[in-house]
Chain A
């Protein structure tokens, strides 16, 4: 018993000494590959990281990447705040902003963006509501609209659609259902009238009998910065070198992705090769023939060079403030560190 305690004490001493040593080392230029953990969801929208990993772009930057997969964006943000994960990709949400306010995370670059003409998020209606006259988003007034939670990107999209169509968000009945799966169920069974969602989920749904596509999100938020790259405040402020190298590799992955699946400049073979690569991570439980269309459906434009649309990010932040979901005093600098990528 006694010896145990002494041993664990020794361990603790050595442990903290090591910790001190690494703390010192991290400010020095890396001489061996730096280990980082990247949080990801198994969605096509997270493909640039997968591409960068598979094509060795991370290794080229001297990064040894380990992926940590999550079921939802929220726990990933918490994991980055706690330091268990270094980089992640997620939509701006009330939770993310509040984590930034607590000094835990920073947005450092752009991920997905809406671009009219390119595959983008779709607006869906249940078959019942569609037959009942909900044939386009202007008729959403008085209808129910599925969201995961107040302060989610779904909530933002609903509000923007309402704004542009000239009615208030309060004229719709927003139904918080927590999980994407629950919203799908509710939409299919006609318990909510409408929803907006990324194409790789939305398009297959609309192919079925229970759901009809009635519009595109890009028509309402043409410059919508759908997802952003983010990291811990500590990384953003104390390890600029590491962050730069990550973003460089990530951007290369994004470029390859855009070329192969969005701009389609690589021909059919290029597209197929890209889909095969992504299939290792996304819909891996399905045969490639089944997965390929879903992956292709999810191919939205990635920001080139992880550039960040500050105009839209500011708009999003202002909207969260106006809704009372985050404190009015949060400055854009609290949320975003603009020193890493181009902004527009």
Chain B
């Protein structure tokens, strides 16, 4: 005790605070930074176009792109394009995701499916779906079929891989626990394996939603009168770069909305984390 007193009273050399060496390596989102970067970039871009060091051939001014967008709103074409695209995205993506979860579950659970389908999935996943477009046209026709199929195929494979990856990572002890309590196979799949794989399935959904939007332009190459992708393609072939930028901005907006929706789904379904 007396030792402790003496220690606090007077060391030989003068006391100084311990140097701080912690902190850092923990990037945190700062809400205001993103909008500032965004606005600054657009302002610079607009300025460049007005002053003239960005030629209209290289990039149209953001204001021109915005005009093109407002034109879409005024003529009401925006809703036609959005409705057509969203319908394709929704049908293609949800069918691709559901089928993907189903096949991914088969691969995750059954040796026969795993040996038979996994190599197939690995072989077909990297094939650019746009290369298969002519075949899709012959198989599914030039109507909605081939468009939905393109998106479906594009989203199916990443979902399969995310699903069986998620199932592989489900804690085997939880499955043993289920067996030890005599749970039926179906109960184990429904109540232990699928919920356990859900985080991986949802992050797969994030990726497949982005892929669906990427594929939208390809899907709408074939006989699409309306659709954001068709609008972009037409703008490209007409060299109407203002419309092109407006269309691309619309795509990234759709991407943001999808990402937000899946984020909400994650918040809801994974609130236990």
Contacts and interface: CB of A to CB of B under 8 A. Distances in A.
Instruction: Indicate if A touches B (C-beta under 8 A).
Output: yes
Interface band, chain B: 20 to 34
A60 to B, nearest CB: 34
B141 A151 contact: no
B238 A178 contact: no
A99 interface: yes
Nearest to B222: A177
A179 B218 CA distance: 12
A182 B137 contact: yes
Contact of B239 (A95, A179, A192): A95
B230 interface: yes
Contacts of A82: 57
Contacts of B223: 175-177, 186
Nearest to A99: B239
Contacts of B239: 77-78, 94-96, 98-99, 102
Contact of B233 (A178, A191, A192): A178
A98 B221 contact: no
B57 A81 contact: yes
A189 interface: yes
Interface residues of A, number: 33
A254 B167 CA distance: 67
Given A178-B233, A182-B137, A192 B221 contact: no
B230 A176 contact: yes
Q: Which of B230, B238, B239 has the most CB of A within 10 A?
A: B239
Given A102-B56, A178-B233, A185-B137, A95 B238 contact: yes
Interface in A63-111: 74, 77-78, 81-82, 93-96, 98-99, 102-104
A150 interface: yes
Interface in A163-214: 175-179, 181-182, 185-186, 189, 191-192
A130 to B, nearest CB: 19
Q: Which of B224, B225, B234, B237 has the most CB of A within 10 A?
A: B237
Contacts of A177: 137, 142, 221-223
B238 A185 contact: no
A148 B221 CA distance: 9
Interface of B: 56-57, 133-134, 137-138, 141-142, 221-225, 230, 233-234, 236-240
